[in-house]
Amino acid sequence: MSYADIASKLSSILGRNIRHVNLDVDQLAERYHAGGLDKDYAQTLASMDKWIEDGNEDRVTDCVFVLTRQAPKSADVFIRENHQRWLS
């Protein structure tokens, strides 16, 4: 599921337009650095985001259940259950 997918779900459930602005690695690193992260660490984090975007974390595991003993929730369910947090 992409950031744009989540933005679309949030828009639908919250009733307002939310969009994801896709930044390239350098733009994201600069944003992290401007927020106070060390420049090298900011670049590392931004590079990891690209790595994830390229599909390197596309997998399903049982970690949520193993760690919490609760079934994982879909993004839709999570947003609906917590929508008041974004409305205030």
- Tens digits of per-residue pLDDT, 59-85? 889 999 999 999 999 999 999 999 999
Q: What is the b/e burial string over 3-20, where b = at least 16 CB atoms within 10 angstroms of the residue's CB?
A: eeeeeebbeebeeeeeee
Q: Is the pLDDT of residue 58 over 90?
A: no
| Nearest CA among 24, 19, 79 for reference residue 53 | 24
Q: Is the pLDDT of residue 88 over 80?
A: no
Angle at 20 (CA atoms; ends 81, 28), nearest 5 degrees: 120
Helix (H, G, I), strand (E, B) or coil at 5: helix
Q: Is the pLDDT of residue 31 over 80?
A: yes
Where along the chain do its domains lie? 3-87
Q: Is the pLDDT of residue 87 over 90?
A: no
If you count them, how many residues does the chain have?
88
